A and B are shown apart, each in its own frame.
Chain A
Amino acid sequence: MRRIVLIAALAVLAATAAARAGEDDGDRRARWSDLRHAVFGDRSLEDGAGIITLDAPPRALDAALVPITIDLPGPAKIQTLYVIIDENPSPLAGTFHFGPAADPRELRTRVRVDAYTLMHAVAETEDGRLFVAEKFVKAAGGCSAPSTKDAKLALERLGQMKLKQVGEGPPGQGTGLVQLLISHPNFNGMQMDQLTRNYTPARFIQDVKVTRGDALVFDLAADISLSEDPAITFAVADKSPVPITVEVHDSADATFTQSFEVPGNGI
């Protein structure tokens, strides 16, 4: 027992010595400058006012589940959307490529945030221009937080999906937004297994492809910054009764596929 006490005491001492970085605004600007060059090279980024807005709570209630909303009011036709969480271990949280069946006017998802951070959403138009929106979010610890409280349930439910109408309103008169929920722990390799005390191997969603009939709605290249049980809310372009098919591929090379009748009585 004494040995356990000693190890615990030393672990705490060692951990508290760890330095913290990225604390002030100058550091954050430098970080973004590095990131934008890494992702976009020397291409210029234009102010996204009127083209793209990014909304997130200024102070996250749960760092492992920070809801973000991206509005793309148009009329510019958006081909690709990049979501970047500057201070996360893997900052490029997701890249959405929109297809002919897309209506990219609004997109919501939930992300992990590991430190007080700037967040960026960058819209790429069909003619290759880049527009950026920015938001500062106060949250910490979302990447290492052990968010799964029931590992057994998470495994049983792995790969299950739901597609439902969101946006409040009576059936048939909704906003045209649907929400895709994917049950997946999205382990990023930074959480500890509570029983074995080993780090849970990373297993996360890499690709989400949504099609309607033969037409692509969007293809999301994802990374470890999506929340556990990722949620993606998107608009459906037309009212036809063609089913929506979702194909999810994860880093353990598993593929989950499911088809849905468009919910909500023909939105």
Chain B
Amino acid sequence: MSRLLLFPVLTWLLASAAAASPPPVAVTEVSPGIFVRQGLFEDATAENDDAIANIGFIVGPQSVAVIDPGGSRGDGERLRAAIAAETDRPIRYVVMTHGHPDHIFGGSAFLPDHPVFVGHQRLAGELVDRGAYYRRRLVEILGTERAGDWVMPSLLVSDRAELDLGGRILDLQAHGAAHTDNDLTIFDRQTGTLWAGDLLFVERVPAIDGSLTGWLEELGRLKALPATRAVPGHGPPIVPWPAGADDEERYFGTLAAEIRALLARGGDIETAVAQIGLGERDKWRLFDDYNGRNVTVAFKELEWE
């Protein structure tokens, strides 16, 4: 049985290896040894290859950790080429900050490196649960060949963990429900850099797929870290910390205050969707695509307070 299982996967791996390597994507070294490829302020399209999230890697004395392998096979392969252009140290870890497709569908591009795939304890369930749905949606946009695949994490973080890149220690923190219910952040001790993943959106409007109050709580924890800079999941490749969280906190605070006031007046969810948060409209990219859903998620949370 296991041989039967192995065969198609091996064929696929060999085929991938035989294909011409794509050119490396441009990355910015935001801190010594920390490289970020900035994502586009768009949703996934056939043209952008789902290269819409900030992804990158951290180079240690002995090995490399990928932080989010990208949104598609091509996105992952181009990041892999960028790593090869930068260092010949092996890719030891592929860390997934959460289970959304724009961050993880490049995962299969790193299988030839045999890294340890790392994620939040709840990421495994998230992938079993929604992974096939995410893949189907991405295939509709990119086609089967270009979509790529996520890889199930084998190192699961329930609270904290350390990754050692050969003397360079990364502190991993698993979070409570916030952006999703499987958010993982990375703190690089050497440079005081927080890789915040999608707990931090800058310029692009945040998307709530977990909990509004939980997200505010987790932001408070992150602000207490001795970090001076942060890599957002969407936005510029690097922002000052904790000041970089100001806009996001203001937006969430506005949603919470306006929804609570509406609830006190007897307003229902339809009214909330039509009215809440509109003062923030000019301050964010893709606002109209996400604000209504954010309000829905926040409303059903806050109506039980």
Rounded to whole angstroms, the CA-CA distance of A9 and B121 in the bound complex is 19
CA distance A7 to B154 in the complex (A): 12
Q: Per-residue CB proximity of B132-159 to A under 8 Å, as 1/0?
A: 1101100100001000011110100000
CB contact under 8 A between A146 and B130, given known A4-B154, A165-B266: yes
A191 touches B304 (CB 8 A): no
A194-B126, A197-B124 given; A166·B267 CB < 8 A: yes
* Residue A245, interface by CB 8 Å: no
In Å, the complex CA distance between A264 and B271 comes to 19
Q: Complex: how many Å from CA A252 to CA B187?
A: 45
- When chains A and B are docked, how far (Å) is the Cα of A146 from the Cα of B152? 18
Q: Complex: how many Å from CA A157 to CA B267?
A: 23
In which size bucket is the chain B interface? Answer: 35 or more
- Of A11, A67, A69, the residue contacting B132 (CB under 8 A) is A11
Contacting residue for A16 out of B128, B130, B135, CB 8 A = B135
- Interface range, A side: 35 or more
Q: Tell me, yes or no, whether B75 is within 8 Å of chain A by CB.
A: no
A91 within 8 A of B: no
* Interface of B (DSSP majority class): helix
Fill in one digit per residue for B260-299: 1 if any A CB lies within 8 Å of its CB, else 0: 0000011111110100000000000000000011011100
Residue of A nearest to B136 (CB): A16
Q: Within the assembled complex, what's the spacing in Å between the Cα atoms of A168 and B151?
A: 49
- Across-interface contacts of A141 in B (CB, < 8 A): 133
B84 CB-CB contact with A under 8 Å: no
Closest to A192 in B: B129
Whether A97 sits at the interface, judged by CB under 8 Å, is no
- Chain A's closest residue to B108 (CB) is A9
Contact B139 A229 (CB under 8 A): no
Please report A residues at the B interface, Cβ cutoff 8 Å.
Answer: 1, 3-13, 15-16, 18, 57, 61-62, 65, 67, 69, 108, 110, 141, 144-146, 149-150, 157, 162, 164-169, 174, 179, 181, 183, 191-195, 197, 229, 231, 233, 264
